[in-house]
Structure 1
Amino acid sequence: MTYLSYVPDPPRDVLAPATTHDIALAVAIVVAGLFLIYALYDFIRHRTPALLMCAVGGLLAALTEPFYGVLGLLNYREGNIMTFVMFNFRGDPTWSTLLYPAFAGGSAYLFFQLFKSGSSKKEFWRAVAVVFGANLIIEIPLTALKLYDYYGPQPFQFYDGGFPLWWLFTNLGGIASGALLVVAERRFGTRGTLLAVPLIPSAFVAWEVWTGWPTFAALNLGGSVLWTTVAAVITAALSISTAWMVAEFMLPKPHVTGEIASEPSRAEAH
């Protein structure tokens, strides 16, 4: 039986520049090392394993990379040293694996602390902007330097093989894992933070699929850039609305002040 495939083939005969790869790997080793040292320091100082467990969970989240990488038409070039390979040819480069504890684990810990402390909605959206910024700092230089490419009719892609901005909205799994980790700590105490290890990879890939499925579907059905752009807008809407709902549930409501707050006391006076 013959099947028609509308999905473009990934570029096969392109190489990652060796020097660029080695620099990226060296930077990733430094970032991972510093993050691990700080997590150990935090564990010793505050007697809580939360950040350390987030680092471990973030590292495990790298195992989910090929799942949505295949769906989102992401291709790591030949010449990358791979930590592991799945689906015959898709996997995760070592430099990428080493960045996962800081990005996936760090974003989970950021939202865990934010929800735990009862921060304001403004601080929540600032944290979302921080995650967006960290994502751009990783993706834009490394795609521009041709270590990997996004191929096919990618929406919101501004240079050949470059980072499509719709991915920003699928990489917010730290919101879900941070919220779940707060619930776990409230239920089980400090021991609950050990659940960061399975929660972070699960929440990370869940957010990718929960919000990214319209764009994944459009890309893999051979849609034009017009249709993948419509799908990407839906992806962004799903992500932002889900983030808003989590914030509404996890963060305290602002106190009512002024005239409205004074109404009960007036009624009591009568």
Structure 2
Amino acid sequence: MLTAPIDHPLNLATQSVLTYGSYLVTAVLLVIAIVMGIRQKTPFYVLLIVAAFVGAFAEPLYDVGMTLWFYTPGLWNTFTAFSIPQPVWAHSGYVVLYAGPAMFICDRIAKGLTASGLYQWAAIELACSCVFEMIGINGGLYEYWGPHAFRILNYPLAIGMLETAQVVCLAVAAAELRRRSTSHWPLLGLIVMFPCTFYLGNFGAGAPMIIALHLENPSMLMSTICSAISIGFALVLIFGASKLLPAEQAAAVARRPASSHLPQTA
């Protein structure tokens, strides 16, 4: 049975760069959210950032499921749960990786984003996820220590696909909440919606991979098969979310035969 690298040294320089850098980007995103909110007369974008920042408090659940360990000696941490210390940059990282892209996707959805456009944003999110996590992993901050398959520069590709799926689901669900809300108060639901979509994507689509990682006798063969299944599930989530876009639904209605729009008579 593999165990977490509890005594692995932490790269203090990378910790400083990632901490200060991610909080700087978080500040920039917050300013952008405020400006967008003022122009559109809504607290939606700021609340989306707040939701991701607060949602990072549930990160230990993700760490246990995905066998992620933050190198401990010298770690600037906020709290410890499930014996896993949490770095201070986890909160800013959530904003940068999840709320930032979701914020821009939501804005595009309101302006008529189509499925092809959503797929492009999904590709951008996947690229951002890979870059951010590869820096953290190869920079000596943490690692996915379980028998993960499809690693690129020590980063499991399935993790990136699941993160992409959960951001897409968050954006589509959040945009729909905003579209249907008759006041600003329902937008507070974003704070609950964030962890719901986060674990829908990562623990829902990622369930086969998570089970394979935590088998009593894990194997690379089983992990590879289950990781491939989870990647497939993530793609299904992204495809399904694209069909819920208002622009796509309007186009589907427009494609129906004229007779299908007529009311049925007895």
Q: TM-score range by the shorter chain?
A: 0.7 to 0.9
Matched residue of 2:143: which SS? strand
Partners of 1:144 and 1:182 lie apart in 2 by 35
In structure 1, list runs of 5 or more residues that go unmatched.
Answer: 1-5, 262-270
Residues 83 and 91 of structure 1 are in contact (CA less than 8 Å); yes or no, is this contact kept in structure 2?
A: yes
TM-aligned CA deviation for residue 242 of structure 1? 1.6
The answer for the alignment partner of 2:159 in structure 1 is 167
Change (3 A) 1:233 1:32: same
The answer for the alignment partner of 2:231 in structure 1 is 236
TM-aligned CA deviation for residue 71 of structure 1? 1.5
TM-aligned CA deviation for residue 136 of structure 1? 1.1
Residues 109-132 of structure 1 show CA distances to partners (whole Å, capped at 9, x for unaligned) of 233233333322110100100110
The answer for the alignment partner of 2:178 in structure 1 is 185
TM-aligned CA deviation for residue 104 of structure 1? 1.9
Amino acid at match of 1:184: L
Matched, 1:57 2:51: yes
Matched, 1:247 2:242: yes
Partners of 2:252 and 2:210 lie apart in 1 by 41
TM-aligned CA deviation for residue 201 of structure 1? 2.2
TM-aligned CA deviation for residue 190 of structure 1? 4.7
Change (3 A) 1:19 1:42: same
Matched residue of 2:78: which SS? strand
Counterpart of 2:129 (choices 128, 131, 135) is 135
TM-score (norm 1): 0.85
Matched residue of 1:11: which SS? coil
Amino acid at match of 2:182: G
Matched residue of 1:249: which SS? coil
| Mapping for residues 212-223 of structure 1, pairs under 5 Å | 212-221=206-215, 222-223=217-218
TM-aligned CA deviation for residue 86 of structure 1? 0.7
Residues 108 and 200 of structure 1 are in contact (CA less than 8 Å); yes or no, is this contact kept in structure 2?
A: no
Residues 115 and 245 of structure 2 are in contact (CA less than 8 Å); yes or no, is this contact kept in structure 1?
A: no
Partners of 1:234 and 1:34 lie apart in 2 by 37
Residues 193-252 of structure 1 show CA distances to partners (whole Å, capped at 9, x for unaligned) of 332222112211221111111000001003211110110110011111121112113242
| Mapping for residues 57-76 of structure 1, pairs under 5 Å | 57-76=51-70
Amino acid at match of 1:108: A
Residues 83 and 94 of structure 1 are in contact (CA less than 8 Å); yes or no, is this contact kept in structure 2?
A: yes
Matched, 1:93 2:87: yes
TM-aligned CA deviation for residue 174 of structure 1? 2.1
In structure 2, list runs of 5 or more residues that go unmatched.
Answer: 258-266
TM-score (norm 2): 0.86
Partners of 1:185 and 1:256 lie apart in 2 by 22
Q: Alpha carbon RMSD of aligned pairs, Å? A: 2.4
Residues 174 and 200 of structure 1 are in contact (CA less than 8 Å); yes or no, is this contact kept in structure 2?
A: no
Partners of 1:147 and 1:10 lie apart in 2 by 13
Residues 61 and 202 of structure 1 are in contact (CA less than 8 Å); yes or no, is this contact kept in structure 2?
A: no
Matched residue of 1:15: which SS? coil
Amino acid at match of 2:218: G
Partners of 2:237 and 2:152 lie apart in 1 by 27
Amino acid at match of 2:170: S
Residues 125-159 of structure 1 show CA distances to partners (whole Å, capped at 9, x for unaligned) of 00100110110121011111111011121101244
The answer for the alignment partner of 1:113 in structure 2 is 107
- How many corresponding residue pairs? 252
Identity %: 21
The answer for the alignment partner of 1:265 in structure 2 is none
Partners of 1:40 and 1:256 lie apart in 2 by 35
Moved more, 191-200 or 44-53: 191-200
